[in-house]
Amino acid sequence: MPVPRAVVAAVVAASAVPVAVDAAQAGGGYCLLPDHSPTSAPNLIASASSPDWIHPNPPPAEREPAEPERLDFAGFPNVSALDVVDRRGRPAQKVITTFTTNVDKVVTLTSEAAVSMDGGVTFGPSGATPLRESPVELLDGRYFATEYYLRRTGPHTALLGVLTSSSAEAEDWVRAEAALSTPGELLPGGAAHGVPVQLADGTILITVYARYQDTGTYQAEVYASRDGGRTFARRGVIARPEQGFAYNEAALAQVADGTLLAVVRRDGGRFSTLHQARSVDGGRTWTAVSDLRLAGMDCVVRGVAPRLLLMPGGMLVLSAGRPDDWLAFSPNGLGYEWREPQVTYHNRDGVWDTHGSSGYTGVAALGPHRLIQVFDNCKLAGVGADGLLDETACPAHGRFEEGGWYAVKRRLFDLAPPAPGRLDLAAMHRRGGLRVSTTLRWGAPDRPRTRPSAALDGSTAYWSSAVMRDARAGGPRARPARYVLHLDRQYRLGLVGLSLRPGHPAGARVYVSRDGRAWGEPVLTVKDRTDYAMRYERVAETGRHVKIVLTPSRDCEPEIGPRCAMLNEVELYAD
């Protein structure tokens, strides 16, 4: 039987408060999301798995928990998918789900993490972790995550706990406190919410919501670190308070054209609602906040804790909840229009539509067109003014659709690729149906995912690339930067997807040959293009051999050299 959490011992003093039976439901003007994608675009999600348990593990046999089991709190989940290598040095993916195990109150936070090594299909038992948010990999190879609460140290300064590790395997997290500075006069309170974003120049961006003396309430902001996460300075304000509304939780993503998109929660009305803003200068200035709109729906979008994910295949995903948990998509990766919203999980009690899942979710890419979404079964218990446990959002009365456990679950989704006929190049390579000849063979012991086959692995992480050091570029003996795929037979190719050097201008020429000797003119030419995910171009050529000739880039990482050629990812589609 689970052990009660020590952190909640002082507040677990009474049974749950009954649910009010006359609670009003959302009225006109608010979006009611469908349980399935609209029939006008049925192939956006090609297939989806049923919800499965992450915690408790193993899944409980009983629908409802016993009273002692109700102290096994689990909620507010996050998820990361990290590129690693296994013990034999083969590319692998480590999926880490973290979740909160304390009550929903300003207390010392406690968390657990569960790990999957089979693409999010199954997770092992969870264990204690210092992580609240799941980590991201930085360009220097470290794994990085922030804690949650800010600690004000002066009118213009605060401290935020940060966690770093040199290895996703050892998980030897080192805690430090980063110093935050802001031109405004801070009040106590505030938190860092969301997944950090690292720009190509190494700047780490985090989103924070903080209170200020002049307004007395929260606004959503971006802080930037130029020293690897030791110090952060406020770079810009995403959304300031207005007319009784405050902005807090913000999701930040660098989208397909390199601009920054923020989706922000606004409080102050009847329900929390979602809004968005955009920055074209790295987060320094932002467009006016506008209502987030779903294509074909003239309504206000409710939601909390938004999450943004740019898939390797170029689609931008929005995850949020309350009521229910849901996904929406921007096929062009820009987020100007959100299509095909779909409820992915609900666990209502039939009394109040925000009773059940908290609406806090996490998303991560498992491949170019596959993602995992994690969510909780019921909002964590709070603590009332009387100091007693308040479980009104998850009462033990047996009326929930999915039961009253505090649980963390997941679903896997396959997004429709940009065209039919995708060749699974990685699988072909593993079974010998594809041979690669290339000059992109640079590697280093601390870059284990950098290898020729990394261009086929479905990841657009920076170091999951095929790389060539180009120390003699431009000279008479300069090596050509080429990557040639020798397929198992002739294919009529209709679409080519490429991601070159992420975040940096780069160029390439693509050739197709029937015999591997006569190449002719390029079927595709890319010049000075900056990629953040794969981009797709139509071609019409039959052949068995595909050659990609890359233009070397300048200002490469010192460990590589002043110039390099990089192929981050390639996809081929055959008619």
CATH number at residue 557: 2.60.120.260
Residue 38 lies in a domain: no
Which residue, among 229, 281, 226, 220, has the nearest Cα to 252 in the 3D structure? 220
Beta bridge partners of 250: 264
Q: Are 124 and 116 in contact (CB under 8 A)?
A: yes
CA gap 191, 133 in Å, rounded: 12
Which residue range(s) make up the domain with 523? 425-574
Count up the domains in the chain and report the number: 1
| 258 φψ region: left (φ > 0), alpha (ψ -120 to 50), beta (else) | left
* CA distance from start to end of the chain: 56
CA gap 237, 216 in Å, rounded: 16
Residue 453 lies in a domain: yes
Residue 542 lies in a domain: yes
Residues 6+ apart with CB under 8 A from 49: 411, 412, 413
Residue 473 lies in a domain: yes
Residue 65 lies in a domain: no
Residue 327 lies in a domain: no
Task: State the virtual CA torsion across 401, 402, 408, 410 in degrees, nearest 10.
Answer: -90
pLDDT tens digits in sequence order for the chain, 575 residues long: 333 343 343 333 333 333 333 333 445 699 998 876 554 555 577 777 889 999 999 999 998 999 889 889 999 999 999 999 988 889 999 999 999 999 888 778 899 999 999 999 999 999 999 998 889 999 999 999 999 999 999 999 999 999 999 875 656 899 999 999 999 999 999 999 999 999 999 999 999 999 999 999 999 999 999 999 999 999 999 999 998 999 999 999 999 999 999 999 999 999 999 999 999 999 999 999 999 999 989 999 999 999 999 999 999 999 999 999 999 999 999 999 999 999 999 998 888 888 899 999 999 999 999 999 999 999 999 988 888 888 888 877 788 999 999 999 999 999 999 999 999 999 999 999 999 999 999 999 999 999 999 999 999 999 999 999 975 655 545 578 999 999 999 999 999 999 999 999 999 999 999 999 999 999 999 999 999 999 999 999 999 999 999 998 888 999 998 899 999 999 999 98
> How large is the greatest C-alpha to C-alpha distance in the chain, in angstroms?
82
Tally of CB atoms within 10 A around 260: 23
Structure tokens at 20: 């009010």
